Amino acid sequence: MTQAISTDTVEPLPLAEGVQGIVADWSSDQRAFKNVPWGKAMMWIFLLSDTFIFSSFLISYMTVRMSTTVPWPNPSEVFALTLFGKSIPLILIAIMTFILISSSGTMAMAVKFGYEKNKRMTFVLLLITAALGATFVGMQAFEWSKLIHEGVRPWGNPMGAAQFGSAFFMITGFHGTHVSIGVIFLVIVAIKVLRGDLDHQRPGFLTGRKGSYEIVETMGLYWHFVDLVWVFIFALFYLW
């Protein structure tokens, strides 16, 4: 194949048509990942793999629930709280969902101020996001302790199908672990922002390129993913 050469520039070789062209374009890194930091690209790959794991859990849960012959516990009754002498269904779950969705808003604002290099607002919003995440985990721990006190176990429960306990602890526990890890990393990034590590590229963990706040956006990708997964858990496990 020949190249068209001019006195000023060299024209790129034409891409092959169809699937071969797509593969050649992506594998040569000409367009898809141009100027994309490796940390951000690796986060996308991690989130893609995590999507398969959560999907497997939720599909397994739906399969078990539809195939069991034993009555499935009613989530509105199992997750109800008694307040002021009245049983309110799903009130704790609704508050948890509101808190986690709100944290997505504060995380998005942290990314915005990060690219504006506003250290103070980025630090504050990262801490608020971490505090909301920690509150969510605390409320989830309360939910766990309540159900354990009522006799729910991974191998059975007094409310109906034995698979309910294993599905509940597996799905919510795996998601809660993700939230807990995210809270820890949010605090670490917030401290680095406050100290100016991202501005001066001090050697260390989660620093990135000099003068760049890309790590804040990368953490935002992770946090939004965790929030999105909770929406599916809330819809399929608590509302179904």
> Do 25 and 51 share a domain, yes or no?
no
Residues 8 and 42 in one domain: no
pTM value is 0.81
Q: Is the pLDDT of residue 11 over 50?
A: yes
How far apart, in Å, do the first and last CA atoms of the chain sit?
60
Instruction: Tell me, yes or no, whether 54 and 149 share the same domain.
Output: yes
- Give the CATH number for residue 107: 1.20.120.80
- Per-residue pLDDT tens for 161-203? 888 999 999 999 999 999 999 999 999 999 988 888 777 766 5
Ranges of H-type helices in the chain: 18-27, 38-67, 75-78, 91-115, 119-149, 163-195, 197-200, 214-233
Radius of gyration over alpha carbons of the chain, in Å? 23
> What is the domain extent for residue 15?
1-34
Same domain, 79 and 152: yes
42 and 23 in a single domain? The answer is no
23 and 58 both lie in a single domain: no
Q: Say yes or no: 15 and 97 in one domain.
A: no
147 lies in the same domain as 115: yes
Same-domain status, 106 and 159 = yes
**Same domain membership, residue 45 and residue 27:** no
Instruction: For residues 17-23, give the mean pLDDT.
Output: 71
- For residues 13 and 80, membership in a common domain is answered with no
Asked if 29 and 142 sit in the same domain, the reply is no
Alpha carbon of 116 to those of 105, 112, 145, 215, 229: distances in Å?
Answer: 17, 7, 43, 14, 29
Distance of alpha carbon 98 from alpha carbon 130, whole angstroms? 15
Q: How many domains does the chain have?
A: 2
- pLDDT tens digit string along 44-77? 999 999 999 999 999 999 999 999 888 888 888 8
